[in-house]
Amino acid sequence: MTEKAAVHHESWIQTEIQHFVATSPGNCLGKEEFEPAFGKPLVGFSNGADPLYDEYVAHIGNFYLTPLKTFQQAFPEQQTVTAAELTVISWILPSTAATRKDHSIRNRHPSERWARTRYYGEKFNEALRRHVVDRLLDQGISAMAPVLAPFWQKSMDGPYAPCSNWSERHAAYAAGLGTFGLCDGLITPVGKAIRTGSVVARCPIPPSPRPYTDHHAWCLHYSHGTCGKCIPRCPVNAISHSGHDKKRCMAYTHEVMSAYLIKTYQIKTYACGLCQAGVPCMDHIPAPEEG
Ligand code: SF4
Ligand code: SF4
């Protein structure tokens, strides 16, 4: 593929994602009156041969999939593909200002808008993954969405358990879209109250610039030794100055919260996200003086 063609792909994929988010009726909170779940998305690209993906395997465990492994599992007839021929397309879907405002004043349970974003918004995110794959296939480009693949799974093994064999947030980090906070959420230029998604395509596109070298660069706790404002936001003390206790968080979000969401909003999902709102990194990269 020529350089010109690669740049063309970068621009139409970006436009396609932004257009789908702006116009799809599926981008909604599932209420009687239409209300969008997400605002304008950010889009970034990383190359399949980026050494970060091997680093993820080394840190997370051998079960973790690189772009090459995930692509080859989806397209077993394309075993000769190289990692460098693959691009990981990542996006960030920012929750709306109304959702963030509602959630910021909650301190024990999710707001209705947050719960709806988690359920209906993630359904839309799934539709967006399928849409991106379909548009690429229309252009004759093989593509797949790792988290929609039948082999995508969660694992309770390894030092970062519970985790999955493909992480949307790690793909977004590789694409220059954000760095991890004390609570493990991804802090992006549009904040941490987001959903994220990705698609792997056999279509080399220039990788997006990665404006950081440290995976915690945009979290004030790690960069300046300040903030820690997500710590008291957690109702079950799953965040401390040492980091995020994923098992404690999961026990609360999956068990206590899923029962609450069904009872209160009749929504069958799990959610909490209190540490993602009412904090300086909720809707932007926090400045040092905000710590
Ligand atoms: S609230 Fe502060 S400490 Fe917590 S993730 Fe955001 S910037 Fe980091
Ligand atoms: S999602 Fe909820 S339970 Fe988990 S760390 Fe954040 S505030 Fe705590």
- Given CA atoms 249, 251, 254, 255 in this order, what sign does their dihedral have? negative
For the entire predicted model, the pTM comes to 0.96
Region 159-184 average pLDDT: 94
Burial class from Cβ neighbours inside 10 Å (0-12, 13-18, 19+) for residue 124 reads buried
Taking the centre of ligand 2 as the mean of its atom positions, its distance from the CA of residue 178, in whole angstroms, is 19
- The chain-wide mean pLDDT, for the chain, equals 95
- Give the bridge partners for 243, in sequence order: 240
* Helix and strand counts by DSSP (H, E) for the chain: 10, 10
- The CB of 277 under 6 Å from ligand 2? The reply is no
Q: What is the pLDDT of residue 7?
A: 63
Ligand 2 mean position to 273 CA, how many Å? 6
pLDDT digits (tens, 9 = 90+) for 89-100: 999 999 999 999
Q: Which domain holds residue 13?
A: 3-290
State yes or no: pLDDT of 1 exceeds 60. Answer: no
pLDDT of residue 156: 77
pLDDT at 217 over 70: yes
- pLDDT score at 34: 96
Round to whole Å and give the CA distance between 266 and 262: 4
Residue 246 predicted with pLDDT over 60: yes
H-run or E-run covering 170: helix 168-174
Query: Cβ(38)–Cβ(27) under 8 Å?
Result: yes
In 3D space, the residue among 90, 88, 89, 95 whose CA is nearest the CA of residue 40 turns out to be 95
For ligand 1, whether the C-beta of 275 sits within 6 Å is: no
- Tell me which residue has its CA closest to atom 3 in ligand 2: 249
pLDDT band at 4, cuts 50/70/90?
A: low
For the CA of 183, the closest atom of ligand 2 is 5
What is the rounded distance in angstroms from the CA atom of residue 280 to the CA atom of residue 266?
Answer: 31
Is residue 190 in contact with ligand 2, taking CB distance under 6 Å? Answer: no
Residue indicated by tokens 């987001």: 194
What is the count of structural domains for the chain? Answer: 1
Mean pLDDT, rounded, for 225-254: 95
242: pLDDT strictly greater than 90: yes
Ligand nearest to the CA of 251: 2
Contact 211, 243 (CB under 8 A): no
Q: Give 275 Cα–ligand 2 centroid separation in angstroms.
A: 6
Cβ contacts of 270 within 8 Å, gap of 6 or more: 118, 253, 254, 257, 258, 261
User: Could you tell me how many residues make up the chain?
Assistant: 291
**Hey, whose CA ends up nearest to atom 5 of ligand 1?**
181
In this structure, the residue with its CA closest to atom 7 of ligand 2 is 234
| 42 φψ region: left (φ > 0), alpha (ψ -120 to 50), beta (else) | beta
| DSSP structural state of residue 167 | -
Q: Is the CB–ligand 2 distance for residue 273 below 6 Å?
A: yes
The number of the ligand nearest the C-alpha atom of 237 reads 2
Average pLDDT for residues 74-86, to the nearest whole number? 97
Q: What is the mean pLDDT of residues 213-219?
A: 97
> What are 190-206's pLDDT values in tens digits?
999 999 999 999 998 99
Q: How confident is the model at residue 157 (pLDDT cuts 50, 70, 90)?
A: confident
Specify the residue with its C-alpha closest to ligand 1, atom 8.
219
